[in-house]
Amino acid sequence: MKKVISIEIALVLLLAGIMFLLLSTKEPRMDVTVEEVQNTFSSIKGDIAIDYADALRIRSQLGINPAEHDMVVYYSSAVDAMYVYEFLLIRTDENSIDALQSTLEEHIATRLEAFRGYGESQTALLEKAIIKQYGNYICLIVADEPSTWLEAVKELLEV
Amino acid sequence: MIFSSLTFLLLFFPITLLLYFLVPNRAKNIVLLLFSLIFYSWGEPVYIILMLYSILLNYVCGLMMDKYSDMRKHILIFGVCINLFMLGFFKYAGFLTESLNSVLGTFGISIPQRDIALPIGISFYTFQALSYLIDLYREKFPVQKNIINFALYITMFPQLIAGPIVRYESIEKELKHRIISLEKVGYGSLIFIEGLAMKVLLANQIGLVADELRALAGSLSVTSAWLSALAYFFQIYFDFAGYSTMAIGLGHILGFTFCKNFDYPYLSTSVTEFWRRWHMSLGTWFREYVYIPLGGNRVSTIKHIRNILIVWMLTGLWHGAAWNFVLWGLYYGLLLLFEKFILSKINLPKPIGWLYTTILVLIGWVLFSSENLSQCMQILSAMFGIGNVLFDTTSLYYLMTGGFMLILCAICSTPLLKWLKEKLLHFALGKLFLGCLYVVILALCILFLVVQNYNPFLYFRF
């Protein structure tokens, strides 16, 4: 009797510990709106000349169909192909995250290939590009200081 | 990771199979367990700890029940409570707090709430663990003392995230010893390809139509609303049945026999029959572990009605932590009561029965799939022409672009193709033709997965 109770208490305590551990890892907010992302980005982008992209530009520059995802916010240069600064935040379902990660990695690899050898500053920016996943969000940043932008994203997503 | 992904098809499964067949029999379970854990942690690196805890809890409870026979009931209750607590907390805490807050909000009180991600497959593996404990208590089989075998029962990747809900007694012997043959591998591969085709070639394609039409919920004509409902009707069937079929196929390849989960449900001539053919492993679970222990139908009429409503409310809740799922469950509970106590006295001609069942199931899926009650009412009122035109250019567009898929789905939801396959298997040439056809279908599925990003899986959240 005593032994059974002791084992049961141990199991309950173990579960409590696991739950504490799980609940202390934060999940991103799922209700972030496009406007919130736009406001956050406006506050951090400084004088970088990139603007909010429409669905057509997202499709043509990234090969991603915004209609297939919950939320897509993308900033890039509409006119200058030499301008590699980019900011992208997508919220989607679990099943699409892996495919998106590959698409974005491929996107950066293609851009790097295009600039390697002659576009020194572009290559330097692309080499420190960040692709980061938080739950159902995936983020791409090409900037002078990508970690600063990433911090703003983390703050917005509350992770 | 899902079966209908390139990572699974071209990387994970070939490596698993290679190692599985290379190692000696005594190491096969270890390999399968290891890869099942990798499979789960691919999408759930954090929540694997919860699954490992579930394994430990139920394994230890099983051993204790075996050792301390005078405390069997006490240990069972403890095990069941902890399992239900885990399921309840991770699946329903958010829903419960939200519902309470909406009531308490009127008094200015609010309970702090945080989003908790649903651990994938928790409903499936918890139900499997519960069936193990309850059946062990009922002495249906001896305790599993080998933790590798027990962990494999809980985690086995073919049925881990979307069922079928495998009861321990059905694979107890196969966990110890199973026949792995080239014939079973071939047979399993064919079943797997059939499931993959259901998912990729049918569910995903008709799902595009369903999603697009659903986005127009506020402005649907009568025809578009019915097209939207029909598209989802087929999407959910081929999505879930496709996944179950793939799981059964994978089981055969690995030497396991999993129970059938779908039996052409859309041919049913009553709602009762529909639920005998749809997600059969879940129906069996609720019958064995809830309905019968409550007394089933061997009680007074009032209690019988209560039992049916409890089971169907729980079935609804099992599908998701939201009020529309509770309503969906009760909707079926009431329909089953209607059939049991009223319709059973009338002998409906089969075509009428089929039509009545199909329409009610269609309405049920609208309730099930709607994001909120207002979207549900929008679609239902459009379907029944309340304030909407009968036909418009959107209907014409979707009839032209999705009409063929709807017809194909309707054909594939009958046993016609199975019948044709069996006929062809009688001839040598027919076998050759079928072999080539399956290769083409597999290639087509991979092609669609490469070129199309749209690959949702509806039952993931359950």
Residue A1 falls within a domain, yes or no?
Answer: no
- From CA B422, how far away is CA B424, in angstroms rounded? 5
pLDDT of residue A154: 87
B460–A65 CB contact, under 8 Å: no
ipTM value of the model? 0.76
Every domain of chain B and the residues it spans: 6-178, 184-269+348-461
| Chain B residues lying within 8 Å of A14, measured CB to CB | 53, 56
Tell me, what's the pLDDT at B115? 64
Under a CB-based contact definition with an 8 Å cutoff, are residues B311 and B290 in contact? yes
Cross-chain CB nearest to B453 (options A14, A22, A65): A65
Between CA B388 and CA B396 the distance in angstroms is 15
pLDDT higher than threshold 60 for residue B149: yes
pLDDT at residue B460 in the model: 55
Rg (alpha carbons) of chain A, rounded to whole number: 20
Residue B355, pLDDT > 90, answer yes
CB contact under 8 A, B50 and A18: yes
Torsion of CA A107, A112, A114, A118, to 10 degrees: 160
3-state secondary structure chain B: CCCCCHHHHHHHHHHHHHHHHHCCHHHHHHHHHHHHHHHHHHHCCCCHHHHHHHHHHHHHHHHHHHHCHHHHHHHHHHHHHHHHHHHHHHHHHHHHHHHHHHHHHHHCCCCCCCCCCCCCCHHHHHHHHHHHHHHHHCCCCCCCCCHHHHHHHHHCHHHHCCCCCCCHHHHHHHHHCCCCCHHHHHHHHHHHHHHHHHHHHHHHHHHHHHHHHHHCHHHCCHHHHHHHHHHHHHHHHHHHHHHHHHHHHHHHHHCCCCCCCCCCHHHCCCHHHHHHHCCHHHHHHHHHHHHCCCCCCCCCHHHHHHHHHHHHHHHHHHHCCCHHHHHHHHHHHHHHHHHHHCHHHCCCCHHHHHHHHHHHHHHHHHHHHCCCHHHHHHHHHHHCCCCCCCCCHHHHHHHHHHHHHHHHHHHHCCCHHHHHHHHHCCCHHHHHHHHHHHHHHHHHHHHHHHHCCCCCCHHHHC
| pLDDT at B194 exceeding the cut of 90 | yes
Residue B157's pLDDT band (boundaries 50, 70, 90)? confident
Nearest CA in chain A to B49: A18
Q: How far is A118 from chain B (nearest CA, A)?
A: 33
pTM of the model: 0.76
The answer to whether position A38 is within a domain reads yes
Is it the case that residue A59 has pLDDT exceeding 60? yes
Cα-trace Rg, chain B:
23
Mean pLDDT across A14-40: 84
Q: Looking at the partner chain, which of B115, B120, B453 has a beta carbon nearest the beta carbon of A99?
A: B453
pLDDT at residue B131 greater than cutoff 60: yes
Cα torsion angle, A41, A47, A50, A52, sign: positive
Contact B49 A22 (CB under 8 A): yes
| Separation in Å, CA of A124 to nearest CA in chain B | 31
Task: Identify the sign of the CA torsion B40, B46, B52, B54.
Answer: negative
Q: Contacts of residue B460 in chain A, CB cutoff 8 Å?
A: 93-95
Which chain A residues are Cβ-neighbours of B7 within 8 angstroms?
Answer: 98
Q: How many domains does chain A divide into?
A: 1
Angle between the N-to-C axes of helices A34-44 and A146-157, in degrees from 0 to 180, rounded to the nearest 10: 150
Identify the closest residue of chain B to A69 by CA–CA distance: B454
Query: What would the pLDDT profile of B374-399 be if each residue is shown by its tens digit?
Result: 778 888 888 887 777 778 888 888 88
Q: Give the up-direction half-sphere exposure of residue B277: CA atoms within 13 A in the CB hemisphere.
A: 17
- B455 contact residues in A (CB cutoff 8 A): 95-96, 99
Q: Cβ of A55 under 8 Å from any chain B Cβ?
A: no
Whether the CB of A95 is below 8 Å from some CB of chain B: the reply is: yes
Q: For residue B438, give the amino acid letter.
A: Y
- Its domain, for residue A54, covers 29-157
* Range from A110-124, B88-102, B264-278, B381-395 that averages highest in pLDDT: B264-278
Most confident of A109-123, B1-15, B60-74, B170-184: B60-74
Q: Give chain B's contact residues with A (Cβ, < 8 Å).
A: 1-2, 5, 7, 43, 46-47, 49-50, 53, 56-57, 60, 64, 68, 71, 74-75, 78, 82, 85-86, 89, 114-117, 120, 453-457, 460
Q: From CA B205, how far away is CA B209, in angstroms rounded?
A: 7
